[in-house]
Amino acid sequence: MPKIIIAFLGAMLFSYVLTPYVIKLAHRIGAIDVPKDDRRVHSKPIPRLGGIAIFGGFFIVSTLLIPISREMMGFLLASVIMIIMGILDDTRGLGAKTKLLIQITCALIVFVFGVRIEFLTNPFDKETGMLYLGILALPLTVFWIVGITNTVNLIDGLDGLAAGISAISAITLSLIAYMSNDITSTILLVALAGGAIGFLPFNFNPAKIFMGDTGSLFLGFALSVISIEAAIKSAATLAVVVPILALGIPIFDTTFAIIRRANAGRPIMEADKGHLHHRLLSRGLSQKQTVIALYLMSCILGASAIFIAEASMKSAMVVLTLDLLLIIYGVFRLKILTHTQEEVK
């Protein structure tokens, strides 16, 4: 327990102290987000690269508190590559195909170093309780890592949104890991949450700095990789559902965006103003109110994930059904699957 507390407070402190220096660096090298279209909700240039501070706090604490195993080495190596890609994208701009290729490469690195989805818990198999994936382990692992990496990146549309949602998701997964006596994953997750929270005072509305792709891609990547050990491989009755609920807001928002664009005959990677935070803003909520509302939604899904991780099959199914009904209600209430006249390409 002392290591867990130190990891959280240490990462938070380092991130908080590093952020002002990152702001100066961003101004010096011209890493500034200038609002160029009406999808952006800020009206003046804001420095980015805040992900450097988040990663710095996480990296310092995790390497000091956790032995460098083979899996840890692969994760840190891939994380550094992800951060470098984010910095290049925030300063010079990288094409979507280039970023996707690098993300797949990072996923392959952690797979080669031993972090992989080799099996899923199968509550219907009374004999082994497992569903072994065999040759499907590689594509499923890559799909999960690349998918979650991009979902966090796509919700980074309001001040403090991605950092806060990532922190809530990390804390949720850390509690699940702790209940499973997985101390390594717990330390990594609380360090990740601490790094994001230490950055939030500078990123919450009105933001003094954005995390940029440097931060959102790293946070998504880290959550996807650590959740493989912390939740997907846990002994939960519905283990595969646990990380999906813990990362619910970015996962569902991205899924609905893909469906919405496909139904409209538009490229699924085309940007629009149909994301959940855009819908809430259009309902008259302020930036702060929208972000806090999404924090609360994430906490509800996180609490459900924690309950399901320890619940019986029957109880888990009841909670999961209630969650799905609430999500369906929200989808139709906010018309998330339909395009509006205000949406832009």
CB–CB of 203/163 below 8 Å? Answer: yes
Could you give the CA distance from residue 159 to residue 281 in angstroms, rounded to a whole number?
A: 13
CB–CB of 260/127 below 8 Å? Answer: no
Could you give the CA distance from residue 51 to residue 174 in angstroms, rounded to a whole number?
A: 21
Q: Is the dihedral of CA 311, 317, 319, 323 positive or negative?
A: positive
CB–CB of 241/78 below 8 Å? Answer: no
Could you give the CA distance from residue 263 to residue 40 in angstroms, rounded to a whole number?
A: 24
The answer to whether the annotation marks 205 as part of a ligand binding site is no
- Supply 22's token pair: 């990152």
- Supply 48's token pair: 């980015």
* 46-47/32-33 β-pairing: antiparallel
Distances (CA, A) of 146 to 70, 101, 223, 224, 321: 21, 10, 11, 8, 27
Annotate 26-61 with DSSP letters as a single string.
HHHHT-EE---STT----S-EE--THHHHHHHHHHH
The answer to whether the annotation marks 156 as part of a ligand binding site is no
Residue 222's H or E segment, with its range, is helix 212-227
Could you give the CA distance from residue 225 to residue 235 in angstroms, rounded to a whole number?
A: 18
Could you give the CA distance from residue 119 to residue 87 in angstroms, rounded to a whole number?
A: 35
Annotate 106-167 with DSSP letters as a single string.
HHHHHHHTT----EEE-TT-TTT-EEE-GGGHHHHHHHHHHHHHHHHHHTTTSTTHHHHHHH
- Give 199's contacts (C-beta < 8 A, 6+ positions apart): 15, 16, 19, 50, 53, 54, 57, 163, 211, 215
Q: Could you list the residues known to form a binding site for Mg(2+), using ranges.
A: 153, 213
Q: Could you list the residues known to form a binding site, using ranges.
A: 153, 213
